Structure 1
């Protein structure tokens, strides 16, 4: 309500001033107004969510709307997830002919006690700030004479200062650049969820799918186009990433209980000790993924090995770093689908079950 009152005051001012050129949600702001606000011109899409086991398990699209020029944002409100200490569900929309044709759940979230409200928000306009030539950050005469404290403008002039939003700091009498989105690190964090036991009675060279449970995506993840998809070819989940280069860091908190039956595959501790060589590898499969047809194309894998010496019933941390490149393609829909297999390394001296502990196990992706 306070925001509505503020906008109302602003409009009252514009009727008197009749000058300026600032727009919100419009690419061509009314030059006679200080502030020009224009809503989405199409018909908003309508959808409903279903919940099971505290997670959003489905989204039903009841009206695809109209007028969309790009995929809108899908948000989930209420339902108790954040209030109950849970995590918010995430989903993405697909658009064809200006109409939302489908909504895919990327992460069902946790902690929902009732179905949340689904909002599909999008627009075909933008926010335009004044375009200034801020050549001298200390100037109080040009491009604005006696700028007000907190004045915001975009430095779009021919100068060496950052081409980004600037605000005027009245305390220091200088223009300061805001965060440049291009320079902001692009990362994604994924936490492992649920119980996962692998490599039961598996000898050296054997492997199993690593991402079996849908991982939880941290809210600080900001790689545009990143999502998690169920791999229809191999099962498990794949990390979907757009064209570009990435550093993928996998950290697993592992624990091996006593073997059952004893002596499986020649399991024995290292000579004269109670420690075992519990070596592991990860096979990284750089599958292709078509974002339009939701189909995977399998490719050759790259193996990374890590030797670990540990005792039974003792947590041991294994880490891998992998350079992942999604090659450029004229078709922007052809992107990357990275999947992983955890396996038993050669020369291990333990050949039985290993538990992946959700606490302390995570994947970090950095865009390079």
Structure 2
């Protein structure tokens, strides 16, 4: 009878801990399943989220829980099309006397069609992997004899290898260090689409919107929260980025055709040459974007000039670099909207049409 009672208790515990169909030992796991393993000494806190404009705009704590010795992790699950092109919301919790007393939205995310489920996990427990001394990545005898393919362990020994999780790969017969996701470079590439002709008969200082066609975000891009939004205030499209620091590099493939008619605005080649000084600038305008109301507020402007010497009907490449900072804000929905203008630099000797050629023109953004 004691054995039967023990088995019944064990089964009840497992049944209560399971959530959905977790994809273990299957080639077709359920992508919506959640594996929730936790040994928390206390009562978990509960909270609910509200959304507006596809972003999480509020979190209400329904039960602060008890037993927390450190702030739990706030996670969001579900919410509709967030898994198809949107970005996940992020928030942090604060505790007092062992209970959750507040949750701050750091980034409301985007793409939510229904309110996501809020979970608060951890606070005083973690998942502990075996701590091994993996002094030789090629060893199949020590610290594990004939390690199984996919075996995971933490290298905590006194050796020169990374102090990180390692996975054994039986194909190469060696341990491979995992990569810290936080240190993985975050970059994005935006390719120009459609032709753009600008600055026709324009004197030095004149400018025109650069991103008038929606750029295509490359599939290798991994900056969470990046999106391209049509700017109904100024026209064209703005690059929307969450709070943080970025290096923005604009690379343009340009071509200036023969003037028609000739001599517009004082255009003349350099003395004794068939080349022109086709100087350009880009104005980087730092607008503020409200992710919940889909509105822009005009911000400051920074101009970067690049002198280019070229002939007419000859492609010339121009590159600009700009350090872009989106300041932190208590409201996670107040983020950055970068607007770009292409203009003619002072002291240019060519004042007619310039074509921005999509092939070879792109914007690279690196999160710092």
Change (3 A) 1:130 1:7: farther
CA drift of 1:179 comes to 2.4
Structure 2 match to 1:292: 292
8 Å CA contact 1:132–1:153 kept in 2: the answer is yes
Structure 1 match to 2:115: 97
Correspondence for 2:129 among 132, 155, 159: 132
CA drift of 1:145 comes to 5.8
CA drift of 1:5 comes to 12
CA drift of 1:6 comes to 5.9
Matches of 1:308 and 1:171, distance apart in 2: 52
Change (3 A) 1:252 1:173: closer
Structure 1 match to 2:62: none
Structure 2 match to 1:331: 331
CA drift of 1:243 comes to 1.0
Q: Which runs of 5+ in 1 are unaligned?
A: 11-23, 31-66, 76-91, 100-122
Structure 1 match to 2:152: 153
Structure 1 match to 2:203: 203
- The answer as to 2:205 corresponding to 1:186 is no
- The answer as to 2:78 corresponding to 1:68 is yes
Matches of 1:330 and 1:147, distance apart in 2: 52
Higher relative contact order (CA 8 A, sep 6+): 2
CA drift of 1:222 comes to 0.6
Change (3 A) 1:172 1:205: closer
CA drift of 1:300 comes to 1.3
8 Å CA contact 1:137–1:174 kept in 2: the answer is no
Change (3 A) 1:5 1:281: closer
Structure 1 match to 2:250: 250
Within-5 A mapping of 1:1-368: 7=26, 25-28=34-37, 68=78, 72-74=82-84, 93-98=111-116, 131-138=128-135, 146=145, 148-153=147-152, 155=154, 165-169=165-169, 175-368=175-368
Query: Per-residue CA shift, 1:145-170, capped at 9, x if unaligned?
Result: 64732234364989997675421245
8 Å CA contact 1:197–1:353 kept in 2: the answer is yes
8 Å CA contact 2:79–2:112 kept in 1: the answer is no
TM-score by length of 1: 0.65
SS at match of 1:300: strand
Query: Per-residue CA shift, 1:29-83, capped at 9, x if unaligned?
Result: 89xxxxxxxxxxxxxxxxxxxxxxxxxxxxxxxxxxxx836873127xxxxxxxx
8 Å CA contact 2:80–2:113 kept in 1: the answer is yes
Which range moves more in the overlay, 239-248 or 154-163? Answer: 154-163
Matches of 1:8 and 1:197, distance apart in 2: 51
Change (3 A) 1:196 1:173: closer
8 Å CA contact 2:153–2:166 kept in 1: the answer is yes
Q: How many residues align?
A: 277
8 Å CA contact 1:152–1:165 kept in 2: the answer is no
CA drift of 1:178 comes to 1.8
Matches of 1:324 and 1:214, distance apart in 2: 20
Query: Per-residue CA shift, 1:255-297, capped at 9, x if unaligned?
Result: 0011122211111111111111111000000111111111111
Query: Per-residue CA shift, 1:109-146, capped at 9, x if unaligned?
Result: xxxxxxxxxxxxxx9899xx9631424124999x9864
SS at match of 2:26: helix
TM-score by length of 2: 0.65
8 Å CA contact 1:265–1:351 kept in 2: the answer is yes
Change (3 A) 1:68 1:9: closer
Say what the alpha-carbon RMSD is for the aligned residues. Answer: 3.8
Query: Per-residue CA shift, 1:79-120, capped at 9, x if unaligned?
Result: xxxxxxxxxxxxx62245349xxxxxxxxxxxxxxxxxxxxx
8 Å CA contact 1:68–1:95 kept in 2: the answer is no
